[in-house]
């Protein structure tokens, strides 16, 4: 028979290139030394994060997959003849659970800031799902954005997909801004399927972010190695330790702690660390069902359905516009 042509359209919206050096220097000269978690994901960091997702202690990935498998048929009904738009598509793996349940789906839009694997991931997807067209858009989805004005998207109901509890790495005001922009992109009559990690005890959360094998620690330490590699820095990894602390306001706080008084150099800039001083690498916010629904309402969504696992570790919300 006839093989359908492989259909991937690529758009480059040219997201501004991040200035790693400038952002690091600003962050290290603040009273609370901070580096944005987006810099954790260079090649080595992305590989370490993939290993985190496989850890026994890190329940997030497998629990969300289990929920998605169980709700996929219901979600397929909600999508109907609309288009699916993934925010931060990465390797486009989780979307397969939805595509398996929604054979009617014609158009998939992948939004990602990294151009590297975007085209290839979409190509692999249309090979695996004959009849599916993919639109790959290299863009920063945390900034306001307009979809290309093309027939495949015009007047279509748009269903957003934002898995992995990535929203948890944003400050609540940034999370609100993201949801608000997503609502603008998905309106009218669209919706958003979003994975959100649930707030729970420190006994479960702290090991999830500081595992016995030390992969989570290595993920944070890679930030120091990355600065050594790319910014002519001379961080001595032995002079720092990793800490993941649960703050009962509902977030895990991850940082590297200086083991001694030391002066680190980045090129010709000297950065002093006191003994015990912290360098914040990441927050991971956790939400109760109602706290997340309140946030979604404030951002212009109407919470419709929420699915959880039997142990109530994780939630997947369907929000309508």
Contacts of 155 (CB under 8 A, 6+ apart): none
Length of the chain: 321
Output 97 or 284, the one with its CB closest to ligand AVI: 284
SS3 307: strand
Q: Would you say 102 or 194 has its CB closer to ligand AVI?
A: 194
Task: Report which residue's Cβ sits closest to ligand AVI.
Answer: 284
Residues numbered 47 to 66 that lie near ligand AVI (CB under 6 A) are 52, 60
For 305, residues 6+ apart whose C-beta sits below 8 A from its C-beta are 74, 317, 318
Measured distance CA(152)–CA(319) in Å, rounded: 23
Hey, which residues between 238 and 297 contact ligand AVI (CB under 6 A)?
282, 284
Minimum CB separation of residue 50 from ligand AVI in Å reads: 11
List binders of ligand AVI among 165-204 (CB under 6 A).
Answer: 165-166, 168-169
Q: Does 107 bind ligand AVI (CB under 6 A)?
A: no
Per-residue contact string for residues 139-168; x = within reach of ligand AVI by CB under 6 A: -------------------------xxx-x
CA–CA separation, 45 and 221 (whole Å): 9
Nearer to ligand AVI, 121 or 169 (CB): 169
Whose Cβ is closer to ligand AVI: residue 209's or residue 292's? 209
- Reported as type and span, the H/E element at residue 253 is strand 251-258
Strand order from edge to edge, sheet including 133-138:
8-12, 133-138, 107-112, 83-87, 158-162, 191-197, 314-320, 302-308
Interface with ligand AVI includes 45 (CB under 6 A)? no
Per CB under 6 A, residues contacting ligand AVI are 52, 60, 164-166, 168-169, 209, 216, 219, 282, 284
């Amino acid at each position: 028979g006839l093989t359908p042509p492989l259909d991937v359209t690529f758009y480059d919206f040219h997201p501004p290139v991040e200035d790693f050096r400038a952002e690091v220097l600003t962050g290290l000269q603040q009273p609370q030394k901070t580096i944005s978690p987006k810099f954790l994901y260079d090649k080595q960091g992305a590989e370490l994060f993939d290993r985190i997702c496989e850890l026994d202690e890190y329940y997030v990935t497998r629990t969300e997959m289990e929920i998605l498998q169980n709700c996929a048929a219901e979600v397929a009904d909600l999508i109907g003849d609309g288009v699916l738009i993934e925010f931060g598509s990465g390797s486009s793996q989780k979307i397969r659970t939805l595509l398996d349940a929604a054979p009617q789906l014609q158009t998939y839009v992948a939004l990602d800031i990294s151009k590297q694997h975007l085209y290839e991931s979409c190509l692999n997807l249309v090979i695996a799902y004959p009849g599916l067209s993919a639109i790959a858009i290299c863009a920063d989805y945390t900034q306001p954005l307009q979809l290309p004005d093309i027939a495949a998207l015009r007047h279509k109901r748009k269903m957003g997909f934002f898995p992995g509890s990535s929203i948890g790495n944003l400050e609540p005001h940034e999370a609100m801004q993201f949801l608000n922009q997503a609502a603008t992109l998905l309106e009218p009559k669209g919706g958003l399927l979003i994975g959100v990690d649930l707030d729970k005890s420190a006994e479960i959360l702290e090991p999830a972010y500081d595992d016995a094998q030390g992969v989570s620690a290595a993920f944070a330490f890679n930030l120091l190695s990355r600065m050594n590699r790319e910014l002519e820095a001379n961080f001595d990894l032995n002079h720092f330790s990793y800490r993941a602390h649960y703050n009962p306001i509902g977030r895990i706080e991850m940082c590297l702690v200086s083991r001694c008084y030391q002066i680190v150099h980045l090129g010709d800039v000297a950065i002093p660390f006191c003994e015990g001083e912290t360098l914040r690498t990441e927050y991971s916010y956790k939400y109760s069902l109602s706290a997340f629904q309140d946030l979604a309402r404030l951002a212009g969504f109407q919470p419709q359905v929420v699915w959880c696992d039997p142990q109530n570790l994780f939630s997947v919300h369907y929000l309508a516009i």
